Chain A
Amino acid sequence: MIKKNNLKNLIVPIFALFLALLVSALIMLLSGYNPITAYAVIFKGALGSKTGICNSLVQATPLIFTGLAFMVAKKATLINLGVEGQLYVGALVGALVGTVDFHVPFIIHILLVMISGMIAGGLAGLFIGWLKVRFGSNEVITTMMTNFIIINFTSYLVTYPLKAEGPTAQSERMLPTALLPKLFAKTQLTWGIIIVVVIAILIKIFIDKTKMGYEIKAVGHNKRAAQTAGIKVGHVILFSMFLSGAIAGLGGAVQVMSVNRRFIAGFSADYGFGGISVAALANDSALGIIISGFIFGLLRNGAKYLNMTSRIPTEFVSVVQALVVLFVAAPLMIEKILNIFKKKKEIK
């Protein structure tokens, strides 16, 4: 019985991804592009060379962070659309701590940047949790509103008070001691990918093996039953929103330490919302998110090659992302489509 469920947990997301790629291929076909060539270019670009694979991993790193952040909140049935904003907060605070010379070894400086980004993102998440617990505000809307507020406010900060010299709205360059070392020279791939994998494993252990992890799952499963069992639902909501925001904030800090080296206004390529798709495709499993983050990372990276060689817009990856969210959440629909295939086989 359990095995059968596991299989089902795998089939729905895989088929959903397949369906999303198929629908996108159809859109390409209808708009006069050849989808087979397009997918060939994507996969060759993203996986065909060492640079390609490295760049796919660079793209995957923030997506795995945001996927984990979204998943942790969702375990307690909270929809944290604020991952995008929390990522910005973590990136800004991390980038600022990275510009200060503390006269400490680089390992300590790196840790300081990471921890400050985490705490900043965590507090941004905690604020949403507090609004939910104290005022009963729907977190979907409060997170969207805070996203707009945070993105505008950080953009204000690096356009006026914190602006570095030059035409772009960005903060001062971080010190070399605050940057994550590269894994391979001439690539943007840094320790970030290793950090995010470690975080994913830690979260897996946290959810499966600790009391708090169990309480989060219990609240997610049935709020009233959890309350009756003596779990303080309010505390659980606050904690899971803090944790979710902290992971997103760490993702932002790692991004500035690896790729941007400073805070740039509007730097996120919708990583926060991409995380929703990553978590969906992984069926909210922490280790699965590493894989699904890589899948979307390679699609995003491959789409860049696509843009160089053809006129197909990169936005079609965002369409795939959105369709995955929808299809994974509709297992009844997937089953129905699969049944049609089955019946055809039986008739034959």
Chain B
Amino acid sequence: MITGFISSILSLSIPLILAALGGVFSVRAGIMALGLESMLLFGAFTATVGSYYTGSAFIGIFAGIFGGMVIGLAHGVFCIRYKMNQVISGIGLNLLAVASTTLLMQIIWKNKGSSVQVTSVSLRLSFLKDIPIIGDIFAKQSIILVITVALCVVGWFVLFKTPFGLQTRFVGENPKAASSVGIHVHKYKYIGVTICGALAGLGGAYISIDSLNMFVRNMSAGRGYIAVAIAILSRYNPIYALLAGLLFGAFEALQIYLQGYGVPSQLIQMIPYIVTLLVLVIGVQNITPPAGVGAHEDD
């Protein structure tokens, strides 16, 4: 029973962690990550489309990453090149993602509720199944779980132990100063939002063609906003994002667990949102984002 619960925590945390990790990269480069919801949703959609047309879940995953990257890049062009208000850009993209995926769904599958079933990721950690306890927890997990953990570790290393990470953080803290010492500010910001889009796109692909085998209208269901809260709670540190993501995953798992006990589903579905609200209110009062978020080097 407990192993089953832990197992669902892990699988439900994956998209949250990936999106939050994306948010960490974006914010560290000085771009707010309120568009995460759109990157998740669009990634989920393009992954389904990729898998639908090629019959390959592997290509679907890459299509998801690509879809997220396109939105991330669009957010970058709006915020960096056209100096758009980053909050509005994020919200506009979120609205656009819901609207355009619903529209395209009807054009491709003639259905506004969900897509047809497509090939889903079948690679599981089944080689662990004979080990007691560990097998119960991990054997049914997707290979993407391993990738997610690896990405968090690599992400931490890149941000805090490499010159690239140092310069990205410099750009995020103070774009003006970074520019004056000859750092190509725009380049780092674009890389930051593109990484963000790619990671959230992978998270979206996981939602649609790994934990399910189809795209459902607005299936990200606010996880992008929850991921923003996770990124803040993690103090923009990839390792803490992994841990905070697991915490939120636990509440999502609780939600599924409670459904077996006859509690009305509408009340159960409120849990992750209430938890996020509480965390935002109690948990993150003294956390400030990098000083240069929203600033331009030539202000």
Contact = CB atoms under 8 A, between A and B. Distances in A.
Interface of A: 27, 31, 79, 81, 131, 135-138, 140-142, 144-146, 148-149, 152-153, 155-156, 159-160, 273, 276-277, 313, 315-316, 318-319, 321-323, 325-326, 329-330, 332-333
Contacts of A321: 95, 99
Contacts of B270: 148-149, 152-153
B169 to A, nearest CB: 21
B128 interface: no
Nearest to B37: A144
Given A141-B276, A156-B267, A326-B78, A315 B281 contact: no
Contact of B92 (A138, A148, A159, A325): A325
Contacts of A160: 264
Contact of A81 (B82, B91, B232): B91
B99 A329 contact: no
Given A141-B280, A145-B276, A149-B273, A322 B266 contact: no
Given A145-B280, A319-B100, A329-B88, 18 more contacts: A79-B91, A136-B285, A141-B280, A142-B281, A148-B273, A149-B274, A152-B270, A153-B270, A159-B266, A313-B106, A313-B107, A321-B99, A329-B89, A330-B82, A332-B81, A332-B82, A332-B83, A333-B82
A153 B264 CA distance: 10
A322 B71 CA distance: 14
A318 B102 contact: yes
Interface string B94-122: 01101110110011000010000000000
A142 B276 CA distance: 8
A156 B273 contact: no
Given A145-B225, A145-B273, A318-B99, A138 B106 contact: no
A329 B86 CA distance: 10
Interface in B246-287: 264, 266-267, 269-270, 273-274, 276-277, 280-282, 284-285
Listed from nearest, the 9 A-B pairs whose CB atoms lie closest are A318-B99, A156-B266, A322-B96, A322-B95, A326-B92, A325-B92, A313-B106, A315-B103, A329-B88
A319 B103 contact: yes
A141 B266 contact: no
B85 interface: yes
A315 B112 contact: yes
Interface string B211-241: 0000000000110011011001000000000
28 contacts: A135-B280, A138-B280, A140-B91, A142-B277, A142-B280, A145-B226, A145-B273, A145-B276, A145-B280, A146-B273, A148-B269, A148-B273, A149-B270, A149-B273, A152-B266, A155-B266, A273-B95, A313-B112, A318-B95, A318-B99, A318-B102, A323-B96, A325-B92, A326-B88, A326-B93, A329-B92, A332-B82, A333-B84
